[in-house]
Amino acid sequence: MEQKVALVTGGASGIGEEVCRLLAEHQFLVAVCDIDRDKAETVARSIGGIGVECDVASPQSVQSAASRCKAELGAPDFAHLNAGIMTSAPGEPYQPIETVPLDAYRKIMGVNLDGVFNGLQTFLPTMQERGGCITVTASIAGLGFVPVDPLYTATKHAVIGLTRAVAAANAGSQVRINAICPGVVDTAIVPPDFKSRPMMPARMLAEEVVDLYKNGQNGEVRVKIAADRPSFVVEPVPL
């Protein structure tokens, strides 16, 4: 039986790394894509995949990563568009919206929103023909808000809306598009003020992501708030 192929952005750490490792356990060939090439290659070597340097804010970089995946592993059956950042770098203080530098605004929009757009444009055409699944990492912030980071909140609201709209536009095709909305996960981008709260292990979110590939519906927005609470699906509001 031919092995399935997966491509994961932001795959060198946090949720993305755990998704890569779990997919490998499920016998996937995995392209570990990350802006940090060395870390991507380290993770890839440990799971028998390939490490690919990829800046999701660049359409050319995403297309290049997809081309390398196809050439070395095969066309991806599953793409996890996971790369994401907060407005301030890990460990740095958060700023009110009125003092956020323009380059910081453009950077978070480029990674969190453009990164999903670039991934959808790259992977949809092939998957519409041969089938596949695209899962986007959103956030519970996309259904509520994070006061310390309004721009992160804005990008995640946009990502959820984009996922739902593109899924509806592709209803009846061979591709499924869905999203995972985690609560606070133990990763490097969690703000210091949140670290005093109970955090979910990244592996727990990885299990939800793999289940979305196996069982998730087109347009599904699944929420996993805490380790001791089951995941649930948020239904869209009819227009």
DSSP state of 84: -
Quickly state the pLDDT bin for 32 (edges 50, 70, 90): very high
Distance between terminal CA atoms of the chain? 44
pLDDT (tens digit per residue) in 89-138: 877 888 899 999 999 999 999 999 999 999 999 999 999 999 999 999 99
pLDDT (tens digit per residue) in 155-183: 999 999 999 999 999 999 999 999 999 98
Nearest to 77 by CA among 174, 136, 5, 178: 5
Quote the pLDDT of residue 1.
Answer: 56
What are the CA-CA distances from residue 220 to residues 24, 168, 202, 203 (Å)?
Answer: 24, 10, 20, 21
What the block records as the tokens of 172 is 């009846």
The answer to whether the pTM exceeds 0.85 is yes
65 pLDDT higher than 80: yes
Residue showing tokens 């297309």: 63
Write down all domains in the chain, each with its CATH number in brackets. Answer: 5-224 (3.40.50.720)
What the block records as the tokens of 43 is 């993770």
Quote the pLDDT of residue 211.
Answer: 97
Residues annotated as catalytic (active site), given as ranges: 139, 152, 156
Contact at 8 Å (CB) between 81 and 135? yes
